[in-house]
Amino acid sequence: MLSSEPKRFLHRPPSSPVTFLQKLAQLITANVVCHPRILHDLLANLPNPPLISTTRLISLHYFHRSPPYAASFLHNTLIKSHSTTIYPEESIYCFIQMSRSGVSPDNFTYPFLLSALSHLRRRWLFEAVEGLGDQIHGQVAKRGFGSNIYVINTLLTFFAIDVEMGKARRLFDETFANGVVDVVTWNSIIHGYVKSGDLITAQNLFDEMPWKSDVSFSTMISAYTSTLDLDRAQFLIDSAEEGNVVTWNTMLTGLSKHGKMSSARKLFDKMPIKTIVSWNALVSGYAANGEMSLAMELFEMMPERDVVSWTAMISGYHRSSRYVEALEFFKSMLIDGTVKPTDATLIVVLSGCANLANLTLGRWVHAYIDRSNLLVSELRSSGTHLTPALIDMYSKCGETETALKLFYGISVKSVSAWNAMITGLAINGHGRESVDLFTEMQISGPKPNDITLVGVLTGCSHSGLINDGRRIFKSLTLGVYGGVTPELKHYGCYIDMLSRSGHLREAAHVISLMQMEPDFIILNALLASCKTYGNSEIARKFQSKFIELSSEPAVPEESKVGGRILVSKIYAGDGEWEKEEHMRAGLRRKQVGWSSIEKDGTVHRFIAGDRSHRQTHAIYSWVDEMVVKLRSEEGYNAAAAEGDVLVDLCEEDRESWGARHSEKLALGFAMLLDGGSGDIVKIVKNLRMCRDCHIFFKHVSKASKKVILVRDRIRFHRFVNGVCSCRDFW
């Protein structure tokens, strides 16, 4: 019989980690932790996030107090519960203790243990998993579970997912010889071969299957669709059971995923049965390819919609850089009220908030996540997506302190969380802190990956940490960071760092030693600094290659225009006016420059020379008055920047030069909003900030005693008391 206190625990789970520990202490004192119902309830209500000390305490008490005749059921309960938490290694500990206590594993033990190993592998802890699959295979054979189809299928799936096809095939052949196979066994080995890219072997096994399920057909159809072998995929659809909507949806999804929207639409139109999966596949395909008008047309025609439908549209607008529309669509989803956003939806929305610096909506989404307990669910399932997205959002809104608080509140930090925080510090001009956090990651965190190195090298570049950058890049070339090798993006960060700091010859030497061809971004960084430092000698060596690269289709249109302008500025600086004029010939109208500022959840956007805002007169008056004031009190001289601005065009129209630039209008609006009483002004600009506006903002920050944060196309600018975090290099 259970005492009244344990019964109450079952009905009223502890509300906080402190309460949980108090209840756990009472249960340990009462010596009832080993009761099946209590043990299950304890593991189901671990504090969030669960502390390793808490989970280990439960395990230790169980193994020290459980009777020697304890059933494997209780041990399996521990192994299974730990396998899906952020501490799957506890399952391995429990299995070891189970073996030491003399309790024999049963047919449920090994699948639960393999589940724990899979979770460890998803966290990139390969060294912790290496060899354990083989050991489990040996134990399965030794203990007579070789004929248990459930155990064999789990082990085969474990090998196949990791593309260990040699081991998977040997296991399959053994089981086949013993006559212990079912459709799951066949599907697992076929999936493994498909994943490894061996479609011939996969097809041969598919042909040999005595019976085939929807999963069998879907696996092969998906494989052929991904390689664009559409005839084979269609043949399999025709071979499947008539009216099998699963196989049709598989091919439709594959075509949409690979951008074959014409073929996808034809298939969709002739489908005998259309489900919500069919509609979602086509909507997602159009949205992913930027065809938002067609996506919206289909979305409105849908007989029913689910969260996938809404998320596809939000993601499509986001992919097309239509962030305002993406967030408006999210609001429409909430108003509609028929579905609730998932973590996938919220990650896209948080990214949109980050791109627009919409802190109000970002905070609302964070509160929604807390209210919905989504972070708790993420931690329990070893997920790693929402928290890094929140860190990224706060960082890109200039709230690095909030991002750091969130980061250090995570008990088990994924590599994505480390990357988000290292990059967040870097782009906000906190290069030293970014490098220090990178060092901390090497000591106590997971192994860095390619994204980590981009983040920390960006920090070195933006903060002028030349020696740190050289040391980190050299270690990268030596393979010190877990096998990560230099890629173009790493070279881009390193050359940008050297170029910004004036080490142009060293940067050019690094380019000459690269094992790969430099791309547009690398040469753009070098030539921009050649222009800044007046080094036409090095610029001439690379500008023909740069012009060639700037015409490639993969380079965005605004970058192509910017590249031609950059080369023309170098010619102009050398007095080669004919070449300068030739480079400018045929320039198409550039992307419209805009700046935005968010207030109370509403994003106010300004373009150069904008007079559409209801406070236009007040905004222009403020800017004009501030120009006069700064000239007399701070020595501001717009004419000193005129030559550079007129050549650069500020990436906005020439006629809007000076006080009509969008960032100045946004600043004027911000200062008028609250009379300048706010702590920080935050502005987002879609293009590069010009020299004149940069000088103007420095003077305003000094005169107003305000912190002004501007995120342009290049980087963050944090203006404090007349100084910018970019050190006038951007």
Nearest C-alpha neighbor of 687 from the set 657, 711, 659, 719? 711
Q: In the prediction, which pLDDT does 563 show? A: 73
d(CA 706, CA 698) in angstroms, rounded, equals 10
- In the structure, what pLDDT confidence band is assigned to residue 507 with cuts at 50, 70 and 90? very high
Q: Find where tokens 């009472």 sit.
A: 26
* 427 in any annotated domain: yes
Burial class (CB in 10 A: 0-12, 13-18, 19+), 533: middle
221's CB contacts (< 8 A; 6+ apart) are 233, 236, 237, 247, 250, 251, 254
Q: Averaged over 543-554, what is the pLDDT?
A: 81
Residue 197 Rama label (left phi>0; alpha psi -120 to 50; beta): left
The residue that leads in pLDDT, 63 or 418, is 418
Q: In the prediction, which pLDDT does 653 show? A: 45
Burial class (CB in 10 A: 0-12, 13-18, 19+), 346: buried
Q: In the prediction, which pLDDT does 130 show? A: 65
In this structure, the answer to whether residues 703 and 671 fall within a common structural domain is: yes
- In the structure, what pLDDT confidence band is assigned to residue 472 with cuts at 50, 70 and 90? very high
343's CB contacts (< 8 A; 6+ apart) are 374, 378, 383, 385, 386
Which of 548, 564, 584 is where one domain is finished? Answer: 584
pTM for the whole structure: 0.77
Helix (H) or strand (E) holding 528: helix 520-533
For residue 60, the Cα-to-chain-centroid distance in whole angstroms is 38
pLDDT greater than 50 at residue 390: yes
Query: What would you measure as the largest C-alpha separation in the chain, in angstroms?
Result: 97
Give ∠ CA 19-23-26 in degrees, rounded to 5: 145
Nearest C-alpha neighbor of 720 from the set 675, 681, 688? 681
The residue that leads in pLDDT, 656 or 285, is 285
Lowest mean pLDDT: which of 104-113, 311-320, 592-601, 668-677? 668-677
Q: What's the token pair of residue 673?
A: 């909003």
Q: ω into residue 49 within 30 of 0, thus cis?
A: yes
pLDDT greater than 70 at residue 569: yes
For the chain, how far is it from start to end, CA to CA, in angstroms? 72
* 618 in any annotated domain: yes
In this structure, the answer to whether residues 541 and 561 fall within a common structural domain is: yes
pLDDT greater than 80 at residue 709: yes
Q: Averaged over 430-444, what is the pLDDT?
A: 95
Whether residue 658 contacts residue 692, with contact meaning beta carbons closer than 8 Å, is answered with yes
- The partner residues of 605 in beta bridges, in order of sequence, read 596
Q: In the prediction, which pLDDT does 16 show? A: 58
Q: What is the mean pLDDT of the chain?
A: 83
pLDDT digit string, tens, across residues 32-66: 666 666 766 666 666 555 555 555 556 655 555 55
The residue that leads in pLDDT, 7 or 402, is 402
pLDDT digit string, tens, across residues 224-233: 888 888 888 8
pLDDT digit string, tens, across residues 607-647: 887 788 888 889 999 998 998 888 888 777 765 554 454 44
In this structure, the answer to whether residues 484 and 620 fall within a common structural domain is: no
In this structure, the answer to whether residues 516 and 601 fall within a common structural domain is: no
Which of 584, 608, 631 is where one domain is finished? Answer: 584
In this structure, the answer to whether residues 396 and 477 fall within a common structural domain is: yes
Angle between helix 165-177 and helix 149-161 axes, rounded to 10 deg: 160
For residue 387, the Cα-to-chain-centroid distance in whole angstroms is 10
**CATH number of the domain bearing residue 390:** 1.25.40.10
Helix (H) or strand (E) holding 707: strand 707-711
Q: In the prediction, which pLDDT does 381 show? A: 46
Q: Averaged over 380-407, what is the pLDDT?
A: 85
Instruction: Note down the domain range covering 460.
Output: 386-584
Lowest mean pLDDT: which of 59-73, 281-295, 528-542? 59-73
Which of 562, 584, 606 is where one domain is finished? Answer: 584
In this structure, the answer to whether residues 550 and 578 fall within a common structural domain is: yes
Number of domains into which the chain is organized: 2
pLDDT greater than 80 at residue 119: no
* 60 in any annotated domain: no
478's CB contacts (< 8 A; 6+ apart) are none
- In the structure, what pLDDT confidence band is assigned to residue 372 with cuts at 50, 70 and 90? confident
85's CB contacts (< 8 A; 6+ apart) are 46, 50, 55, 379, 380, 382
d(CA 623, CA 638) in angstroms, rounded, equals 13
In this structure, the answer to whether residues 572 and 654 fall within a common structural domain is: no
Q: Averaged over 648-656, what is the pLDDT?
A: 44
Burial class (CB in 10 A: 0-12, 13-18, 19+), 113: buried
In this structure, the answer to whether residues 490 and 577 fall within a common structural domain is: yes
* 229 in any annotated domain: no
Nearest C-alpha neighbor of 294 from the set 272, 279, 275? 279
Q: Averaged over 420-436, what is the pLDDT?
A: 94
In this structure, the answer to whether residues 545 and 658 fall within a common structural domain is: no
* 576 in any annotated domain: yes
In this structure, the answer to whether residues 397 and 470 fall within a common structural domain is: yes
